[in-house]
A and B are shown apart, each in its own frame.
Chain A
Amino acid sequence: MKLNYSKQWYEERIALEGDSEVGAGCLPAKLENIEKTNVTFVDTRIALGTFVSLWRRNKGWDAARLAEQAGLDPQEILEIERDPHCEPEADAVYKLSIVFGVPAKPLLELAGLIQPRTAGLREEAVRFAARSESVAALNEHEREAFEAFVAAISESIPLKK
């Protein structure tokens, strides 16, 4: 592919471009839209963040170690764990599901990246998040909640259409 525009063409077109922003693609974090239209994802994202945090703590990993294993940026792991208004990128959630050894679809649902299709997942997620405290090591109560949620994700049943 070759560009064959004249210098004058660029000069005139660039004058029109002015101070415009030009980004195209997808939003990493659409705070305003989430607040306006996707409030319902906040509670499931809290569960997703809690799950990610508990999973790595259960392994004794820090965020950097999990990021390295998943091929992600540590900052992205921390945003998923701590900021329910942040919409993770789908491939990040997919990579985490591989590291965790659980199906990707329920995690993508929790992240609000695909339409809910799994029966009872939201309820299970909210129950899980409510039972989990963010402390340094998993206590027995947290471990029990964590294992129950892993089972719920792994055995998730698609909703009937």
Chain B
Amino acid sequence: MNTSVGYLKRDDTREMVEASLLDEVSDSHLSMWEASWSPAMQSFCAGRPLADRPQDHHWDWRRKAEGLLPLLGYHSFALLCQNELQGLMLINDLKSARLASQFGKPLAYVEFLATAPWNRPEMHQRPRYRGVGTVMVGAVVELSFELGYSGRVGLHALPAAEHFYRDTCKMTELGKDAAHQNLMYFEMTENQAEAFRQRP
């Protein structure tokens, strides 16, 4: 298991703080999810109608990790900061690109990406840390390069996150995917990945 140093921004002090990105979700990370992340999510959702709950409210990360990680082609990442789990991501490297300019070429596909409940502006007026999405997209881009996929990335964004992938990460929007719950499908090209690696 490799650990990389990344940075998140504390919302209260505006400080940049070191975070650890581990390229394998372990049982201890899943235990952290069960001990703090999942109860925080359940607490937020209690009494709220389904439509008002976060769109990933009942993702069971233990089930996803235990079901998918033994399979060929799956990679997982856990982001920790100050001994707390801040984000999780599962990636599949067996998918291929749909965008005409890179059609059929392999890419790193983000199966699931989520940030911890306490980092979400939609759940807390003062989220604890900002930047989980940035670290995770940086990670999948680097994984794509490491796999020899030249930075190509694909994902289906949850509706509330479309803005992030379209306008912040500058990924190409390929339209709503009827075969995937009508979620917007995005791809990052080789050039877009190189641009993402540069300072904005």
Contact = CB atoms under 8 A, between A and B. Distances in A.
B172 to A, nearest CB: 15
A13 B156 contact: no
Interface in B123-156: 130-136, 138-139, 142-143, 146, 155-156
Contacts, number: 156
A25 B113 contact: yes
B135 A76 contact: no
Interface string A88-117: 000100000000000000000000000000
A33 interface: yes
A30 B51 CA distance: 8
B112 to A, nearest CB: 4
Given A27-B183, A30-B181, A91-B63, A20 B139 contact: no
A87 B180 CA distance: 12
B67 interface: yes
Given A26-B180, A27-B55, A1 B142 contact: yes
Size class of B's contact patch? 35 or more
Interface in A1-27: 1-14, 16-27
B59 A21 contact: no
- SS class, residues of chain B in contact with chain A: mixed
A86 interface: yes
On chain A, which size bracket covers the interface?
A: 35 or more
Contacts of A7: 7, 16
Given A27-B55, A33-B181, A71-B63, A22 B4 contact: no
B115 A22 contact: yes
Interface of B: 2, 4-9, 16, 21, 23, 50-51, 53-60, 63, 67, 75, 110-115, 120-122, 130-136, 138-139, 142-143, 146, 155-161, 163-165, 168, 180-183, 197, 199-200
22 contacts: A1-B4, A1-B146, A3-B21, A3-B139, A10-B8, A10-B131, A14-B131, A14-B134, A16-B200, A20-B168, A21-B158, A21-B164, A23-B157, A25-B156, A26-B180, A28-B55, A28-B57, A30-B181, A37-B182, A86-B50, A91-B63, A91-B67
Given A10-B9, A21-B121, A21-B158, 15 more contacts: A1-B142, A3-B5, A8-B199, A14-B130, A16-B134, A22-B132, A23-B56, A23-B157, A23-B161, A24-B110, A24-B113, A25-B110, A27-B183, A28-B59, A86-B50
